[in-house]
Amino acid sequence: MSALQAAQWQYENQLPPEVSETPQERAERHWIEEGIDQLMRGADYLFQRRMRPQQGVTQERFAEAVDEFAMGQLGMKGVSKSVLGRLVLAAHFKIGSDANAAAHELMAVPNADSMLREIAHTLLLPLAKDGVLAQAEEAQ
């Protein structure tokens, strides 16, 4: 490998520069990532600050947001008119692979998991500051 090729390879394979984030931003990012994982496992992600009502994202709210997204995808190119019916039937008859295929068709995105995580992120982002504060209060 010539020096020019080696330099080109090194340039093409270098990692992006480190992103500097404040401790607060890092804590909020971790809180959101934890919440996304909880929601993707089927659990609510709730918290409560002192002297305030409980907040967070429930599975019901997450399902509503996914439903809103999926309903917006209906009628798009590549999504058949029977996709909801096939999804219901596959779930009813416990045919997991058919349900999975219908769900991915309905989502109409290259990576359904990434889209679900993005939806969860959108729901959690406005709650991150209070969520981190609640964790700090709980730790005291």
93-102 per-position pLDDT tens digit = 999 999 999 9
Q: For residue 77, what pLDDT is reported?
A: 85
Q: Degrees (nearest 5) of the Cα angle 122, 125, 126? A: 110
What pTM value is reported for the model?
0.81
- Comparing CA positions, the residue from 87, 82, 81, 85 lying closest to residue 112 is 87
Q: For residue 116, what pLDDT is reported?
A: 97
User: Beta partners for 46?
Assistant: 56
- Comparing CA positions, the residue from 9, 131, 122 lying closest to residue 68 is 122
Q: For residue 17, what pLDDT is reported?
A: 67
Q: For residue 1, what pLDDT is reported?
A: 53
What is the CB-side half-sphere exposure of residue 14 using CA atoms within 13 A? Answer: 8
How far is Cα 140 from Cα 137, in angstroms, rounded to an integer? 5
Q: For residue 46, what pLDDT is reported?
A: 97
Q: Which residues of the chain have pLDDT under 70?
A: 1-4, 6-7, 17-18
How far is Cα 25 from Cα 10, in angstroms, rounded to an integer? 31
